[in-house]
Amino acid sequence: MRAPKPLAAGNWKMNGLKASSSEIADLAARLKAAPAGCDVLICPPFTLVASLADAAAGTSVAIGAQDCHAKASGAHTGDVSAPMLADSGASFVIVGHSERRADHGETDADVAAKAAAVQAAGLPVIICVGETEAERVAGREVEIVSGQLAGSIPADIDTDRLVIAYEPVWAIGTGRTPSAADVEAIHGAIREKLVARFGAAAGSMIRILYGGSVKPDNAKELMSVANVNGALVGGASLKAADFDAIIGAWR
Ligand SMILES: O=C[C@H](O)COP(=O)(O)O
């Protein structure tokens, strides 16, 4: 059975000044010398997308964005659209991160509209899902994530350009992670949903990333779990050495 090529994605969140772009040059230089057995993506804040896309040109590192507006253009002060991101050199866009859902009240319908906008701009989309700690304690994680998947993936999605990121909210930035068995259970449930909706051929090739306190010392174990096809890394993606060590899980 074919398996999706892993994707190691770094989400810099609201971190990174122009000066820190030396980190990407450092990482890009390492990867050029020793290509990893995975695709590599870094999603800096909007302000660095264009400059990092330039810095990463000709290397194996792709540059993406962390969010976009659902419309292509118009009177939306302070927002950035998917075509603008593509124009800046972004080759992926993350939507529906739990921090956007919490900080900006984004609903599944909002996330689906953004995901459709990303694909309409010709880019692949990473749709994030994940339960809160209270939902996990109540044993509702599969129900919550299934609902998010159903509502956040638009009807006309191109599955070749779809990546799902499972990020339990309680594991983000906390240093806590689910056990390998728990990761296997929820990723297996996500795979079942994708196969049920898109069929075995397409559903089995959609990458499902794990995110939440992925670090150099736990990456190998987490990335070897069934149906984990890569990582969405926050804090540890800010340092080239740490992110490179995580990518080492596939070397
Ligand atoms: O998008 C990335 C995640 O929210 C994970 O963040 P973290 O690696 O800092 O826990």
Distance, CA 213 to ligand 1 centroid (Å)? Answer: 6
Any domain includes 173: yes
- Is any ligand 1 atom within 6 A of the Cβ of residue 111? no
97 has catalytic annotation? yes
What ipTM goes with this model? 0.99
Q: Output the pLDDT for position 57.
A: 87
Is 49 part of a structural domain of the chain? yes
CA distances from 145 to 37, 75, 168, 169, 171 (A): 29, 33, 9, 11, 15
2 within some domain: no
Q: What is the CATH number of the domain that holds 74?
A: 3.20.20.70
How much is the average pLDDT of 117-140? Answer: 98
Give the span between the Cα atoms of 217 and 201, in whole angstroms: 33
In a domain, 47, yes or no: yes
Q: Residues 62-109: pLDDT tens digits? A: 999 999 999 999 999 999 999 999 999 999 999 999 999 999 999 999
Examine residue 1 and state whether it is found in any structural domain, yes or no. no
Active-site choice (131, 141, 167, 187): 167
Q: Enter the DSSP assignment of 74.
A: S
List the Cα angle 18/45/94 in 5-degree steps. 150
Domain assignment of residue 102, yes or no: yes
Q: Does 170 fall in a domain?
A: yes
Which residue in the list 97, 106, 131, 141 is annotated as catalytic? 97
Indicate whether 34 pLDDT > 90.
no
From edge to edge, which strands make up the β-sheet containing 7-11?
A: 61-63, 39-43, 7-11, 230-233, 207-211, 162-166, 125-129, 93-95
Q: How many CB atoms lie within 10 A of CB 98?
A: 22
Residue 130 lies in a domain: yes
The answer, yes or no, to whether any atom of ligand 1 lies below 6 A from the CB of 7, is no
Range 212-220 average pLDDT: 97
- The pLDDT value given to residue 2: 77
Of residues 56 and 231, the one with the higher pLDDT is 231
CB 148 within 8 A of CB 121: no
Residue span of the structural domain in which 138 resides:
7-250
3-state secondary structure of 8: strand
Counted domains in the chain:
1
Mean pLDDT over each residue of the chain, to the nearest integer: 94
d(CA 187, CA 74): 38
pTM for this predicted structure: 0.96
Whether pLDDT at 24 is above 80:
no
Answer whether 222 contacts ligand 1 (Cβ < 6 A). no
